[in-house]
Structures are given as structure tokens and as C-alpha cells.
């Protein structure tokens, strides 16, 4: 049987999707980032014990949660109505907008989604960024289906952008800003979405949900939230 049964003895396994700096990434072979420190601090406030981190592609996290291979998702995951049809979320712990990333010096400087008309666009599979490509670019007739490339991980999209294989990437703004610091890419403009990140849990895991919400509040009220933010965003 799945590890999810362990929620009964208060041991939980967390799942995340590295390659989404500074929320979760691999550094010197180690999983690090805002979400890692934040969830660990949150669980520390509860009667639960976080025994393991499992790594998945972003679009495999919800299936892994549903199949009880993991008990909580900490992956900068936006709380959406569509996701709430299959899983539950904690209270929000971070807000973010989307951004449009382009290659530095490529001469392409879009200022709005309309300016992406006819361009080659990339995003990560299963993300809200991909939802924007579908709803605001493809459905609006600004680009064709095959102008869009869906990547398993944003890291591959960044590589293609730097090679000039695609023109733009739609990605959460804090992550776009972070990639801008260490790659030949830059945020062309911000697209306001005011997304709220939540920890994903199974529907019906009410005790875990209540505990995580109390932990999130405790971490925010203490100095810990600011310390973790400072550590990963230098703010
Ligand atoms: N916040 C975005 C979403 O929920 C992207 C998350 C991610 O790629 N890790 O879809």
C-alpha cells in the first residue's frame, strides 16, 4: 500500500519538482529552495513528521498525491478551481504573477500578450503558464497550436530560448526573475495574475490540512517567514 497510509502515524512524505528556482532546485546534488525550507518550518510547528522529499515532474505531482506516493505537494503550486476538483490546498503562503521571458539581445521585446502574435512560445506542462498560452494565445488566435512547445521542465524551455529555438516563455514571475540572474534571458514584461500558492494535499485529509494551516500561520507570525524569504529572494 502507498506511503499515504503513513499520514495515520503522522509521518508524511513531500513531493516537489526541482528546476523552479528559487522555490525548488538541485544544488550540489541537494534539493534546496524556498519551498523546502518553508514546508520544513511549517511541519516543525505540527505533530507531523516530514520523513522524505520525493522529486517528480510538475505534472506528475497531483497523480503522485492521488496515488498516495506522497502526502503533500510543495511546488509553488497555484491554488486553482480546476485543481480543487481533484485535490485540496492549504491556505495560501505566497503570491505571484506571470512573466514573459525572452532571450537577452535577441531583439524581441514584447510588451503585451498581443505582441506574442505569431511567435514560438514555451511553458512547462500542467502549469498555469501553459493555461495562459492555451486561453490567451491559442484560443485568441494569436498563435497556432504548433507554435507552442510544452516542456516537462522549465529548465529545458530556458535552454531552447537561449538557443533561439523559441521566442518566449511564460513562467511565474519570481522564477523568471531568478532565471534572468543566471541565464541569457530577461523578463520582457509581467502579466498580472495574482496567483496564490498553496500546499497540495488529498481531499479528506482534514487533520493534515488543519495542521498545515496552523503551521503556515505560525511561521508567518514568527520571524521565520521573513528569514526564509530573505535567504532565497534576498528581500
Ligand atoms: N505556479 C505555477 C502553477 O501552479 C507553476 C508551478 C511550477 O511550475 N512549479 O502552475
Superfamily of domain 96-195: Periplasmic binding protein-like II (3.40.190.10)
ipTM score of complex: 0.98
Name all residues whose Cβ lies below 6 A of ligand 1: 17, 20, 58, 75-78, 124, 127-128, 172, 195
* Ligand 1 center from residue 77 Cα (angstroms): 5
Matching CATH topology for 3-93+198-233 and 96-195? yes
Fold of the domain built from segment(s) 3-93+198-233: D-Maltodextrin-Binding Protein; domain 2 (3.40.190)
CB atoms < 10 A from the CB of 73, how many? 28
Q: Which residues have C-beta within 8 Å of that of residue 13, sequence separation ≥ 6?
A: 3, 6, 50, 51, 52, 53, 54, 69, 70, 71, 72
**Domain ranges within the chain, ordered by starting residue:** 3-93+198-233, 96-195
The whole-number pLDDT of residue 2 equals: 44
Low-confidence ranges of the chain (pLDDT < 70): 1-8, 235
CB-based burial label for 61 (10 Å; 0-12, 13-18, 19+): buried
Q: 195 C-alpha vs ligand 1 centroid, how far in Å?
A: 10
Cα of 152 to ligand 1 centre, how many Å? 12
Q: What is the pLDDT of residue 206?
A: 97
Q: Which residue CA neighbors atom 8 of ligand 1 most closely?
A: 127
Amino acid at each position: 500500500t502507498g506511503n499515504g497510509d503513513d499520514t495515520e502515524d503522522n509521518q508524511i512524505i513531500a513531493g516537489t519538482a526541482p528546476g523552479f528556482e528559487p522555490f525548488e532546485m538541485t544544488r550540489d546534488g541537494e534539493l534546496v529552495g524556498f519551498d523546502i525550507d518553508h514546508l520544513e518550518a511549517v511541519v516543525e510547528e505540527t505533530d507531523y513528521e516530514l520523513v522524505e522529499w520525493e522529486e517528480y515532474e510538475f505534472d506528475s505531482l497531483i497523480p503522485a498525491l492521488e496515488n498516495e506516493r506522497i502526502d503533500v505537494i510543495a511546488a509553488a503550486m497555484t491554488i486553482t478551481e480546476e485543481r480543487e476538483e481533484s485535490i485540496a490546498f492549504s491556505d495560501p503562503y505566497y503570491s505571484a504573477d506571470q512573466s514573459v521571458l525572452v532571450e537577452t539581445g535577441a531583439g524581441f521585446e514584447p510588451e503585451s500578450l498581443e505582441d506574442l502574435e505569431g511567435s514560438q512560445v514555451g511553458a512547462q506542462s500542467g502549469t498555469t503558464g501553459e493555461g495562459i498560452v492555451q486561453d490567451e494565445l491559442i484560443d485568441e488566435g494569436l498563435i497556432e497550436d504548433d507554435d507552442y512547445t510544452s516542456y516537462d521542465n522549465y529548465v529545458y524551455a530556458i535552454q531552447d530560448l537561449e538557443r533561439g529555438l523559441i521566442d518566449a516563455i511564460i513562467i511565474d514571475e519570481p522564477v523568471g526573475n531568478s532565471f534572468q540572474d543566471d541565464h541569457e534571458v530577461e523578463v520582457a514584461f509581467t502579466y498580472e495574475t495574482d496567483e496564490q500558492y498553496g500546499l497540495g494535499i488529498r481531499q479528506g485529509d482534514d487533520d493534515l490540512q488543519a495542521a498545515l494551516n496552523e503551521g503556515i500561520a505560525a511561521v508567518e507570525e514568527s520571524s521565520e517567514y521573513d528569514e526564509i524569504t530573505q535567504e532565497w529572494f534576498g528581500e
